[in-house]
């Protein structure tokens, strides 16, 4: 049973990673971080999306997300942030994706119901429905950017930030520097202290999935 549950969680992890990759590309397109002609239109989850054509950018995004695989699988990734920066380094907007496993389904409920629960197929149709509505929400979020790309307020670059639930008092939660995830580095204090002194951030909800009968929870929002 343990092997079956582990296999199911790994399948779900790969499903989430594919979705996150699409979200990153679509958000970069919506915020004009790169010229529109640098993207090609595709269809994912029955929704038209835009994927960047540049091989190096695609490889960068893909490799960084693959570096999150074990964090997602182990449940230590609290949120993934896609921060859009202006030329002056100021963060314009950040898309935040929070996800976590539903313990009642993957642990307690499986133990209570026995092997029959583990043998149930993944609810892929329901998952795709939620992914579809999330992508629609991302494309519908209000975008405000300078029309002149030379402006210091125009989107110029982006950063991927991963928040993990490491605890210095618990060595078992530390990120393994020898693991594939070592393509990530600890963020400069600027990234996690930038909110100090600011009374509040404006949060714009995009999509929330909080069904205990679903394999995972998903909370997506725009932070300004």
Residue 139 or 120, more confident: 139
Average pLDDT of 113-124?
64
Residue closest to 96 by CA, chosen among 73, 75, 79, 72: 79
Whether 3 shows a pLDDT value over 50: the answer reads no
**Model pLDDT, residue 72:** 93
Residue 175 or 31, more confident: 31
Report helix angle 55-66 to 2-30, nearest 10: 140
Sign of CA dihedral 183, 218, 46, 23: negative
Instruction: Please list the alpha-helical segments (H only) found in 75-122.
Output: 103, 109-113, 115-119
Cut 0.85: pTM above it? no
Between CA 213 and CA 175 the distance in angstroms is: 30
**Model pLDDT, residue 99:** 93
The pLDDT mean for the chain works out to 80
- Class of the domain covering 2-168+178-223: alpha beta
Instruction: Please list the alpha-helical segments (H only) found in 31-101.
Output: 55-66, 69-74
First to last CA, the chain: 44
Average pLDDT of 4-23?
88
The confidence band for 109, taking pLDDT boundaries of 50, 70 and 90, is: very low
Quick: pLDDT tens for 157-208: 999 999 998 655 555 555 554 554 445 666 665 555 554 445 467 889 999 9
The confidence band for 62, taking pLDDT boundaries of 50, 70 and 90, is: very high
3-state secondary structure of 93: strand
Provide the token pair at 165. Answer: 């639930």
CB 3 within 8 A of CB 56: no
DSSP 179: S
Residue spans of the domains in the chain: they are 2-168+178-223
Residue closest to 40 by CA, chosen among 27, 24, 29: 29
**Model pLDDT, residue 77:** 93
């Amino acid at each position: 049973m343990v092997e079956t549950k582990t296999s199911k969680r790994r399948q779900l992890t790969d499903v989430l990673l594919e979705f996150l990759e699409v979200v990153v590309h679509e958000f970069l397109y919506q915020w004009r971080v790169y010229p529109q002609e640098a993207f090609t239109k595709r269809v994912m989850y029955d929704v038209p999306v835009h994927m960047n054509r540049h091989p190096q950018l695609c490889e960068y995004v893909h490799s960084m997300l693959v570096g999150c695989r074990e964090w997602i699988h182990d449940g230590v990734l609290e949120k993934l942030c896609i921060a859009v920066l202006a030329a002056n380094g100021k963060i314009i907007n950040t898309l935040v994706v929070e996800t976590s496993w539903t313990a009642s389904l993957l642990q307690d409920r499986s133990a209570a119901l026995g092997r029959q629960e583990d043998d149930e197929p993944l609810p892929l149709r329901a998952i795709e429905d939620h992914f579809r509505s999330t992508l629609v929400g991302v494309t519908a979020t209000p975008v405000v950017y300078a029309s002149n790309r030379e402006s210091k307020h125009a989107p110029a670059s982006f950063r991927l930030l991963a928040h993990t639930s490491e605890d210095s008092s618990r060595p078992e939660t530390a990120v393994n520097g020898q693991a594939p995830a070592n393509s990530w580095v600890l963020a400069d204090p600027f990234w996690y202290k930038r909110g100090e002194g600011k009374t509040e951030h404006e949060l714009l909800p995009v999509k929330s999935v909080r069904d205990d009968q679903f394999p995972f929870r998903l909370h997506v929002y725009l932070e300004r």
